[in-house]
Structure formats: C-alpha cells, structure tokens
Structure 1
Amino acid sequence: MTPEAAYDAIHDRLSRWPDVETHDLVAADQSDRLILAEAGEIPGEVAIVGDRYGALALSILTAAPETRIRMHQDPITGERALANNAAELGIDLAGVTWHGLDASLAGGAGLVIGQLPRGLGALDEIAGVVADHADPAVRMVFGGRVKHMTPSMNDVLRVHFGDVRASRGVGKSRALHAASPVRGAGDPWPRRADHDGLALVAHGAAFAGTDLDVGTRFLLTFLDRIPSVAAAIDLGCGTGAISASYALANPEARVIATDRSAAAAASAEKTMAANGVEARVSVVRDDGLGSQPDGSADLVLLNPPFHSGNAVTDEIAPRLFADAARVLRPGGELWVVWNSHLRYRPQLERLVGETRQIGRNATFTVTASQRG
C-alpha cells in the first residue's frame, strides 16, 4: 500500500479533537494526499512539519509502520489530535518523535514534507532550518490549498533553495518542491522590534510577528485601569505583549502567559527576557488553560483568536471564556478585547458573570467580566 492509498483508507476516520470541530472544519483534505503523492518514495526516516491532525504521518505509518518520523506541529492541539487519531486507528507511534523547529528536527534529513503555513515568516523560518541542517541532497515538499497559496511563497523558498518548482494543481491543491539548499541564507529568527519601551521578539509563525496588533494595542490603552493583582494570566499570549506590559506595570504580580502555539510560547519567553520580567512571568504551552487549577487566578487577560488554521470560526472564544471562568477565583475578572461585530457580551455574561464595557472604538470593544 502506498501512503496515498493509505490516506484514502483513513481520512474519513480522522478527527480534529481536541481542536474545534464543526461541520465545515475538516481534519484532512486533498492537499494532504497530494503532498504524499508528490513526495514519491518515502525513506526509512522522514521529517514532517505542520501535519495538522496527523493525516500525513498516519498515512505513512499505515503504509509502512516501521518508518521513523520526526515531527514539528506548532499547535499543541495538533500533537494531541495526532495521538488521538493514532489510538483510534490502532497505529503505533513508537517511531514518532516531536521536535522544536531546529536542528533536532531537520538534521541530516533527506526528505522533509508538510503543509504550507499561513504566513511567509513561518515559511521562511522553516525553509531556513531545513536548508541549514538537512542533508545537502534534501527534498522539501510542502503543499496546500491553492486559495491559500501565493507566488511570494516561491520567492521565500528561493532564498534558501537553488531549485524551486510547483506541481500541477490537483483537487484545488498544489505542492511546492525545493532542493539544492543554500546554507546561511536569509535573516535569522527570532526577530525583535521595540514599541515605546516594550520589546517584542517573534518567531516566524507567531501571530502579528514583531508588530503590536491593533486589538492588543487598544486593550493596553486601559492598562492603568486593569486591576493590580497577585496572580494574573495572559491567555492566548502570542508574543507576550500583554503579559510583559502587565508585569512591567505591576512589579508585585506573578503572571502566567499561555498559548497553544510553540512559536508563540518560544517568542513570549524571549519577549519576557527582553523586557527583564522573565523572573515573574512563566510561559506555558497549553490548550487553553488546561493545566491551570480551578480558582487559581485573580485576573485573566485575553485577546481571543478567531482563526483555526486557515479557517475563520467563532467557536474558539467561548471555549476560552469558559476556561477563564473555571480558573478565576470568585470576584476575579476576565478582561477581553474583541471585534465589536462578534457581539461576545451575552456569552461573557452567561459563561463568566456580570460584564461591563470598558471602552469601544470603531473596531474593538474592551470588556471586564467578574466571576460570581
């Protein structure tokens, strides 16, 4: 059985759980099958980047169970979904190891496959790691849905590889091939920028990069009104702008900054160090607040995402509101900045408690909800 045939046999049984699941969000699509087809013969060891819920790895293991696979999945929910899907399918993961986006992932690799990331920064960092550490004869095969691809992706790959080409389109999907790596090309990651006394450090896949996104910027205009507490949490911390700002403004506070993204967590750690608050801010990679005990925080700060991968969804924020309600002590507060058209206030009232508006502009609303 080839990996493509294995994909055909298992794709209907793959789940996104514990990530958001709705009728229009899928665990696998034709781009996964195309990547496997374009990769050709799979060697005894392969590196995989961005396998969303395990479609690539589990297809390969179904076809060739002895294959050794080095994995990098940015969201922790992707790692857990792969493990859940493997258990459902009865696939042994003994030969699978998970790695950071570094030499341990790509070192000496002859084949690296994966899903194209959403951002060019993420692709640049991936391509740089592969080009710098993989075997000189490495083949890199990354694919995606055509609607999410741009010619700029080819340009990014050409910085790091001498040979770049695109496959023909199949099932509204396409693959990009890269070979002949150029070591040491491009600017190094992570990168840093300063914003009026706040330093932000970002890896390629971190939301907003080294920019201060507009929602966070609006929330921080109310920093002097946010309660000064002993134990605060920055939920979905991204590069750590909110947690670093809060820690700088509240020298007695201990802060937990948490995000499901490996790139975000690594970025936030470096942001804390760049601002001199690393001793008071603990960075955790987690699915929401899953590792935090009930009633353990006085304050939760949140700029919720509304994307799951490339899909726009309003299912993520309510989960985070409920998580915050569980973790807050009675009387503790959840401060949220949200796109006004999403009308989250009724959900905040229901899931957390009495909610008041702190501020509003043409795009965003900031609210504070008190745990009853």
Structure 2
Amino acid sequence: MTTPWGELALARFPEDPRDRLRAWDASDEYLLRYLVDERIPLSGTVVVVGDRWGALVTALAEHGPVQITDSFLTQEATRANLARAAVAPGTVQLLTTQDPPPERVDVLLVRVPKSLALLEDQLLRLAPAVHPETVVVGTGMVKEIHTSTLKLFERILGPTRTSLAEKKARLIHCVPKPSAVRPASPWPHSYALPDGIGTVSGRTVVNHAGVFCAERLDVGTRFLLQHLPAVRGVGRIVDLGCGNGVVGTAVALADPTAEVLFVDESFQAVASAEATYKANGVPGHAEFRVGDGLAGVAAESVDLVLTNPPFHSHQATTDATAWRMFTGARRALRPGGELWVIGNRHLGYHVKLKRLFGNSQLVASDAKFVVLKAVKR
C-alpha cells in the first residue's frame, strides 16, 4: 500500500500466497491522504475503530494509535503487519470491542463496518471519551456508506457531512457535541426463540451488536436446529463459528454430560454465546474461545463439529473461510467423528467435503438449504 509516508507491505491473516484480496482498499488510502493534506494533528490519543487488516494503524504507528476491533483475524493480521514494518511491540495498543475503550479520545478514525449495529454500539461506547476538539473522520467505500450511517454519527456524536467520492471511496466528517443527549445503548439484545426447534424452543438468546441475525433466528440456523444429530453420549462437541451460541446451547441441553466448545473469530460472537449459554442455566461443561477456527485445538480430540460457515469476508465473496473450517475440523476430529454443515444449496459444500473426507451424506434439504454430514475415516 502506498501511503504519504512510503510503501507498506501488508497481508491478510492467515496469509495465503494464492489469496488475491488486498489487505487495504481505496477508503484506507483516502483517509491517510486526507490526514496529511489537511495537516490533521495526530496528537493525544488516536483511536482507530474497525481497521480491517491493520493497514491504518500500521501506517500511523509512529503516533501510537489504539486499534479497536471485533475480529481475531484482524488482530493477528495487525500484529504481523506491524512486525513486517519493524514497529516495536507495544507501540500500537490492540483492544477488542469487549474491552473498555480509552477514557479520552483526541482523534477518532472509523472504518465503517458492514454492521450498522456494531457501528452504533462502538460510537455509543466511545462517545463519553470524545470532547469538542476531537477530530472525527470516518471512511468507507461508497457502497458501504448510507444515509443511515450518517444519521447514526449525527445522532450519537454531532453534525455530520460527507466528502466527495474518490476511487469509489468516501469520507465522513463529524463535529462532536459532547453535551448532546444520546440514546441508551440497546446492546446486548435478547429475544425468546420460537417453538418447534427442539431443546431450545422458547429459550433465551443473547446477542451483542454485530452478531449475525442479532434480532431474530435466521432461517438457516433454524433448519439446522430441526435436524441436529443425536448427541447423548457423543463426548466433545464444537459449535464452530458459533455466533450467538444457539446451536451449541441446543446440544448442551440435549446432553448435559457433553463437553461443548464454542469457537468464533468475533469477540462479540463469543461473548454472545457465553451469555446465551448462561442465560439458559445449562448444567454441562462449556468452553468459549476466540480464534481462527479450530487452530490450537488438539488433533483427534473432538467427536462432533457443527458449523454454518460464512461465505463472505467483509464485502468479498469467498469460500476460503469455509475451507479452513472444514480442514480444521478434519484435523481435530477423532476417527469416526463427524462434521455437520448447514449451507445454501448453491455453495456446493458436498464437493469440498468429498474431496477432504472422501464422503459426504445429505441429511436434510429444502428449497434453499442442505444439511450435510462427513465422517472422518
């Protein structure tokens, strides 16, 4: 990435030489040019929210910025990119969306996330730290910035306007009004599950901002819940890409002797899964882990993996995440262990499972979804 301070070698995480997706985009470049062209003083506490792969904090490292992210993969990419740029450890402070934010913010740079709810949550959490002289600049691609995005900045922080577009990117300029009356945060949000979905019928689900389908049960997960395997006596079960944890909670309720591992790369998701599990008083044993799929889980230590893989990485459509989840599951499963997958019919997961496991069985299907099972031989 070419910046006003020189060129940076950046990569996504995990690094894959075949991956043609960049670790930055035009909105990152636009924001960095603006900071230099307008001579924005980068003094005091500089906070960067939503930095996709660490491009912004790596470029601004000399100013000791604070990065706030919901993504474990972003944190790992940032660490690698900072090391590649020879930035001393500790120069950039890495926080998650679950950590307390800084008490004072002098420069707030916001990479607009895909989730409006996550943006709302972060702006509400940061608003008490903003003062009248705080510089607030948002950035994103034109297709990511909507009227609702601008209204959110204005409602929480102060008067907001946008820049002209450059290379399909746009900036958001906001003048803070710390004395403004702000709404109370609606997050986390809870709701009761509908009937007809087994052990979790009528149970409570807790969702932190930014978690997939935070206000209702999505149809794919509902279909999987209606076709879960019999789990009594299975042993160690993984809810991989757990989201709000409803699937793992369902199997834990079905067999209180099961050991359930909830895994997601989103800090918000894992916090939601733990809150959902505890809200339902499940008597079994559970572990909650933020990480890159099953990396770090011992080989041949798992009996059953249940997953609904994402097929987007931010705005890009890709099967790379699903493939990593499947290969990780195969490594972690004991011989005879099973991987159960819910996915849209058109994604063709059965082809990947046959290639990896040597087998794939259709468990259930409807007009939109399939539930597939692969067994480790």
TM-score (norm 1): 0.91
The within-5 A match list for 1:1-372 is 4-6=3-5, 9-10=7-8, 13-18=9-14, 24-39=20-35, 40-61=40-61, 65=62, 67-101=63-97, 104-178=100-174, 179-181=176-178, 182=180, 184-196=182-194, 197-223=202-228, 225=230, 228-277=233-282, 280-372=285-377
Report the count of equivalent residues. 363
Is the 8 Å Cα contact of residues 35 and 114 (structure 1) preserved in structure 2? no
Contact 1:159/1:186 (<8 A) preserved: no
1:311 is displaced (CA, Å) by 1.1
SS in 1 for 2:249: helix
Deviation at 1:26, TM superposition (A): 1.2
Which residue identity does 1:45 align to in structure 2?
Answer: T
Partner-residue secondary structure (3-state), 2:58: helix
Code of the aligned partner of 1:180: K
How far 1:23 sits from its partner (Å)? 5.2
Percent identity between the aligned chains?
A: 34
Q: Distance in 2 between matches of 1:166 and 1:68?
A: 27
Q: What is the Cα deviation at residue 19 of structure 1?
A: 5.9
- Cα 1:278–1:183 shift into 2, 3 Å: farther
Residue 257 of structure 1: SS of its match in structure 2?
strand
| Structure 1 gap segments, 5+ residues each | none
* Residues 103/231 of structure 1: CA separation in 2 closer, same or farther (3 Å cut): closer
With over 3 angstroms needed to count, the CA separation of the structure-2 counterparts of 1:330 and 1:213, relative to structure 1, is same
Instruction: Give the Cα separation in 2 of the matches to 1:208 and 1:237.
Output: 12
The aligned amino acid for 2:270 is A
Q: CA deviation at 1:365?
A: 0.5
Q: Structure 2 stretches of 5 or more lacking a match?
A: 195-201
SS in 1 for 2:100: helix
SS in structure 2 of the partner of residue 26 of structure 1: coil
SS at structure 2 position matched to 1:105? coil
CA contact (8 A) 2:4 2:32 kept: no
- Rounded to whole Å, the distance in 1 between the matches of 2:168 and 2:120 is 24
Structure 1 pair 363–21 and aligned structure 2 pair: CA distance change class (3 A): farther
Structure 1 residue identity aligned to 2:177: S
SS of aligned partner of 1:362: coil
- Contact 2:208 2:268 survives alignment (8 Å): yes
Report the equivalent of 2:197. none
Cα 1:75–1:102 shift into 2, 3 Å: closer
Cα distance between partner residues in 1 of 2:187 and 2:165: 32
Q: CA deviation at 1:278?
A: 7.6
Give the letter aligned to residue 27 of structure 1.
Answer: A
| 2:302 partner amino acid | A
Note closer, same or farther for the CA distance 1:162–1:85 as it changes in structure 2 (3 Å cut).
closer
Task: Provide TM-score, normalisation by structure 2.
Answer: 0.90
Secondary structure of residue in 2 paired with 1:138:
strand
Aligned mates of 1:99, 1:279 — CA distance in 2: 31
Instruction: State the shift of 1:113 in Å.
Output: 0.8
Matched position secondary structure for 1:291: coil
Q: Which portions of structure 1, spanning 4 or more consecutive aligned residues, are displaced by more than 3 angstroms? A: 19-24, 133-137, 181-184, 224-228
SS at match of 1:162: coil
Is the contact made by 2:231 and 2:254 (CA closer than 8 Å) also made in structure 1? no
CA-based RMSD: 2.1
Deviation at 1:225, TM superposition (A): 4.2
Distance 1:359 1:147, change over 3 A: same
Deviations 1:192-222 (A, max 9, x none): 1111323211111111113211111111111
Offset at 1:100?
3.1
